[in-house]
Amino acid sequence: MRIVHCMRYVRLEQGGVVRAVLDMCGALAASGHDVRMLCIDDTDVPEPWKAGGRGLPSVHRIPRPVLPATGYLPWQLARVFEPIKDADVVHLHSAWQISNIQIGRFCRARSIPYVISVHGMLDDWCMSQRGLKKRLFMACGQRRLLERAAFVHCTAQAERDQSRKWYPGGRGRVIPLVVDLSPFREMPGPALAQNAFPPLREDRAKILFISRLHYKKGVEHLIRSADILRNRGVEASVVIAGSGDASYERRLRALVDELGLSDRVSFLGMVAGPTKISLYQASDLVVLPTSQENFGFVVFEALASGTPLITTPGVDTWPEVEASGGGLIVAQDPAKIADAIGLLLADTGRRSLMGESGRAWALRELDPALVVQRFVEMYADAMKGPGASGTPG
């Protein structure tokens, strides 16, 4: 099967969507498919992919769009369409890009089926941000792109339920993202992270936030919960791992200073590779106090590492987290978060059981081979046409 994935910028610092596309392309190619990645920026594309080889995706650099909202001028489109014209299926990623509308139009003219992953961008919280601009974009081609897609791919039922109002005549398909679980099967242990980061060697419980730093992630709620815990006499430190919005990070650091928490809150920057896995193991709890997350790699990495998780109903996969036995779902409120942290820190046995349950669930339910097969089945159904399995909306 010839599968083309379209992704503008391949920079892992931009968050989970990039990670999702890389993992998906790698797993599909490894299973024997001809996978092509179209991108403007290939900064974090694995070097072997760029060189090409059997069992690896091929990388096709396309021009940088000239028009606003990543729109291409007609003379640029020939280079964009060249790797697509003999595809069996095209997989578009993200909303709010004129280039996706242009590619979708090309695919329809050539009878090439396409699917689009919206990556949570049609969730209610996201649609409330700059809502008028997004509604205008919908009217100018985005809704048509969605409704003419073979499938609109959502990562959770909650995402599909929220997004379907924006493509009432389209068809949705729910499949989790591909998560590379291989680093979690034989983990390095906590010492690697403890040696790298002195705050992890302190004699206090460690509460880990690990994600891109962005205001929707709600890190300030966790910082305020650390203040509440201190006032309750709970010995716990918050460790913040991630990079992102510089102005938001400055506000977070100012909040830490304002609350006098510099001895209890540490910023580690972006952590990757084996040290990242070790960081999960060196932590007593992972907390993601987010406003919105359609899938959240951190959620499932925490479960796979055996570290209990606290997160909010803003994560579309919260029913799965709850069913796994490895996480608690609480309101995005500092007092509620502090209550949950205090409850789990006081019960070592419960934390141990949660860790075991969540890890077993993640390694079983998110087996990459099974998830990849579901994507292949979606592509095969897309190639069959509108009569294939799929539910409107």
Q: Over its length of 393 residues, how does the chain's per-residue pLDDT go in tens digits?
A: 999 999 888 888 777 788 889 999 999 999 999 999 999 999 999 999 988 888 999 999 998 888 876 789 989 999 999 999 999 999 999 888 899 999 999 999 999 999 999 999 999 999 998 889 999 999 999 999 999 999 999 999 999 999 999 999 999 999 999 988 889 999 999 999 999 999 999 999 999 999 989 999 999 999 999 999 999 999 999 999 998 889 999 999 999 999 999 999 999 999 989 999 999 999 999 999 999 998 888 999 999 999 999 999 999 999 999 999 999 999 999 999 999 999 999 999 999 999 999 999 999 999 989 999 999 999 999 999 875 566 655
Q: Tell me the domain boundaries of the chain.
A: 2-179+368-392, 182-365
CB 157 within 8 A of CB 138: no
pLDDT value of position 277: 96
The amino acid that residue 154 corresponds to is: C
pLDDT value of position 69: 66
Token digits for 341?
């942290």
182-365 matches 2-179+368-392 in CATH topology: yes
Distance CA 196, CA 204 (A): 17
The CATH homologous superfamily of the domain defined by 2-179+368-392: Glycogen Phosphorylase B; (3.40.50.2000)
Count of helix runs (H) and strand runs (E) in the chain: 18, 14
Q: For the chain, what is the largest distance between any 2 Cα atoms, rounded to a whole number of angstroms? A: 66
pLDDT value of position 165: 94
Fold of the domain built from segment(s) 182-365: Rossmann fold (3.40.50)
Angle formed by the axes of helices 98-109 and 74-81, to 10°?
Answer: 70
pLDDT value of position 93: 93
pLDDT value of position 67: 80
Q: Whole-prediction pTM value?
A: 0.86
- HSE-up (13 A, CA, CB side) for residue 189: 3
Angstrom CA distances, 264 to 225, 276, 342, 393, stand at 11, 20, 15, 47
Q: 75's torsion region: left (phi>0), alpha (psi -120 to 50) or beta?
A: alpha
